[in-house]
């Protein structure tokens, strides 16, 4: 069972709120680095294993910097994410651009940074050459179609917009080689918050088979195999965390059985996790503003789905505790809501919790990935601050709260002083 805890005492939290008013996201450095080390240990057998942190999960240069200093690279999907990686000290082939309907300026920036480019479509090869030139290292993203299942977040592979078919994949590598590319990788990503260990073994087996076939059919010896991310975390307290050592061992056995006999025992392994690195290391801290009793019993917070979209977007579960009431009986039933003018602005529906009072601090767990990252300004709501609890116990502001002045800064209208 995954016990849900918060790293600060109630007294320390109140002290922190006096400096940084709620709402805010708090991240724990120790947990983040511990998660990265768990992956590094699970794949320690692999030649030059590297975790390519999915910047989209938590696009903050300070977090990326911490992870890079501990040995991680980055996976990026936009020019802003590329710039975050560069600002955080990630360089050259440590940077991976996973293309997805990519415009010219993003390809150009990736080439400028010396990044490895992961193409999402066979037609992008000619586009890339025309607008930016070809990279030193090129990769294609494989979509296995009916061979694998998807889920509600990423969709079924046959209906997903990502990746090349099997025939397109081999044609893409053949054409890239003819165009002068000499260094290659191989990638797929078909899972999101996947909690079945066998899914990762199957993904590795699929890519190892393709790597062997690429060598035989095209004379291409790939430098790395990237099995993607999608490693799930236990959002619910009754769920168990993934057994990473067992997953690593099972993939190790496949590698030795399949890759080594084919002369591919030097191929690097990569993962590109986001949620599994930072997800359980974040909490959205809010204050209760209102209590409403109509057809249901509502608790209104000073945060809203602009600060955490996952429950409204996916119906996702995020555990909730009330600071100082962690051991009290959960004998009340509430909908926990925000102030956005949308009826799905709810962090929880019919959730059993202790009695909640106005002014209580509400802790929403596991917001370290796809939390602040998916923020938005609908209704003119402002992004909240992000804080980092460092290993020495100090707290660092790593994103200040957005202000009304920030919101108006890009607007132009008669009478505007901007």
Cα(74)–Cα(59) distance, integer angstroms: 11
Query: Would you state the pLDDT for residue 150?
Result: 55
Angle between helices 79-87 and 104-113 (to 10 degrees): 20
Burial class (CB in 10 A: 0-12, 13-18, 19+), 183: middle
Angle between helices 61-69 and 79-87 (to 10 degrees): 50
Cα(68)–Cα(87) distance, integer angstroms: 11
Cα(52)–Cα(222) distance, integer angstroms: 17
**pLDDT tens per residue, the chain (418 residues)?**
568 999 999 999 999 999 999 999 999 999 999 999 999 999 999 999 999 999 999 999 999 999 999 999 999 999 999 999 999 999 999 999 998 899 999 999 999 999 999 999 999 999 999 999 999 999 999 999 876 565 544 457 666 778 899 999 999 999 999 999 999 999 998 888 999 999 999 999 999 999 999 999 999 999 999 999 999 999 999 999 999 999 999 999 999 999 999 999 999 999 999 999 999 999 999 999 999 999 999 999 999 999 999 999 999 999 999 999 999 999 999 999 999 999 999 999 999 999 999 999 999 999 999 999 999 999 999 999 999 999 999 999 999 999 999 999 999 888 765 5
Q: How many residues does the chain have?
A: 418
Residues ≥6 apart with Cβ < 8 Å to 303:
22, 23, 284, 286, 338, 364, 384
Cα(182)–Cα(223) distance, integer angstroms: 10
Cα(290)–Cα(295) distance, integer angstroms: 16
H/E run at residue 31: helix 29-42
Where are any strands of DSSP class E within 177-281? Answer: 183-188, 224-226, 268-271
Residue at token pair 């901007």: 418
Cα(388)–Cα(50) distance, integer angstroms: 24
**Three-state DSSP state, 307:** coil
Q: What is the set of domains in the chain, with CATH numbers?
A: 43-273 (3.20.20.10), 280-408 (2.40.37.10)
Residues ≥6 apart with Cβ < 8 Å to 306:
338, 340, 375, 376, 377, 378, 379, 381, 382, 383
Query: Would you state the pLDDT for residue 153?
Result: 45
Asked if residues 34 and 258 have their Cβ atoms less than 8 Å apart, the reply is no
Query: Would you state the pLDDT for residue 418?
Result: 55
Residue at token pair 């057994």: 243
Q: Where are the alpha helices (DSSP H) in 70-181?
A: 79-87, 104-113, 124-131, 166-178
Asked if residues 75 and 53 have their Cβ atoms less than 8 Å apart, the reply is yes
Query: Would you state the pLDDT for residue 191?
Result: 81
Query: Would you state the pLDDT for residue 163?
Result: 84
Query: Would you state the pLDDT for residue 159?
Result: 67
Cα(3)–Cα(238) distance, integer angstroms: 8
Residue 284 dihedral angles phi and psi, to the nearest 5°: -95, 120
Structure tokens at 94: 């440590």
Q: What predicted TM-score, i.e. pTM, was given to this entire model?
A: 0.95
Query: Would you state the pLDDT for residue 391?
Result: 97
Asked if residues 287 and 336 have their Cβ atoms less than 8 Å apart, the reply is no
Burial class (CB in 10 A: 0-12, 13-18, 19+), 1: exposed
Q: Would strands 282-293 and 268-271 be described as parallel, antiparallel, or unpaired? A: unpaired
């Amino acid at each position: 069972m995954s016990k849900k805890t918060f790293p600060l005492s109630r007294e320390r939290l109140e002290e922190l709120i006096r400096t940084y008013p709620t709402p805010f996201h708090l991240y724990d450095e120790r947990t983040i680095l511990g998660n990265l080390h768990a992956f590094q240990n699970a794949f320690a057998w692999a030649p030059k294993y590297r975790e390519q942190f999915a910047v989209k999960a938590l696009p903050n240069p300070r977090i990326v910097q911490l992870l890079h200093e501990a040995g991680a690279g980055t996976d990026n999907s936009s020019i802003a994410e590329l710039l975050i990686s560069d600002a955080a000290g990630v360089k050259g082939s440590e940077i991976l651009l996973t293309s997805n309907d990519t415009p010219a300026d993003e390809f150009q920036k990736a080439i400028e940074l010396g990044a490895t480019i992961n193409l999402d479509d066979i037609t992008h090869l000619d586009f890339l050459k025309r607008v930016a030139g070809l990279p030193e290292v090129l990769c294609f993203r494989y979509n296995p179609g009916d061979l694998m299942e998807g889920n509600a977040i990423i969709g079924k592979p046959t209906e997903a917009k990502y990746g090349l078919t099997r025939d397109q994949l081999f044609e893409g590598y053949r054409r890239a080689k003819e165009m002068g590319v000499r260094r290659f990788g191989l990638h797929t990503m078909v899972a999101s918050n996947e909690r079945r260990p066998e899914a990762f073994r199957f993904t590795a087996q699929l890519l190892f088979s393709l790597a062997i076939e690429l060598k035989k059919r095209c004379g291409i010896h790939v430098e790395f195999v990237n099995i993607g991310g999608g490693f799930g975390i236990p959002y619910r307290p009754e769920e168990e965390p993934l057994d990473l050592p067992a997953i690593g061992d099972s993939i190790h056995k496949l590698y030795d059985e399949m890759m080594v006999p084919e002369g591919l025992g030097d191929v690097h392994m990569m993962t590109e996790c986001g949620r599994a690195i930072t997800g359980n290391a974040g909490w959205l801290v809010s204050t209760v503003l209102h209590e409403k009793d109509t057809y249901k019993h509502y608790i209104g917070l000073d945060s809203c789905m602009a600060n955490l979209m996952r429950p409204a977007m996916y119906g996702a579960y995020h555990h909730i505790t009330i600071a100082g009431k962690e051991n009290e009986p959960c004998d009340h039933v509430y909908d926990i809501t925000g102030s956005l003018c949308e009826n799905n602005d709810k962090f929880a529906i019919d959730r059993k919790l202790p009695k909640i009072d106005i002014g209580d601090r509400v802790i929403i767990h596991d917001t370290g990935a796809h939390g602040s990252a998916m923020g938005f300004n609908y209704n003119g709501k402002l992004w909240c601050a992000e804080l980092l609890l460092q290993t020495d116990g100090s707290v660092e502001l790593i994103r200040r709260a957005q202000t009304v002045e920030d919101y108006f800064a890009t607007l132009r209208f008669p009478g505007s002083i901007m």
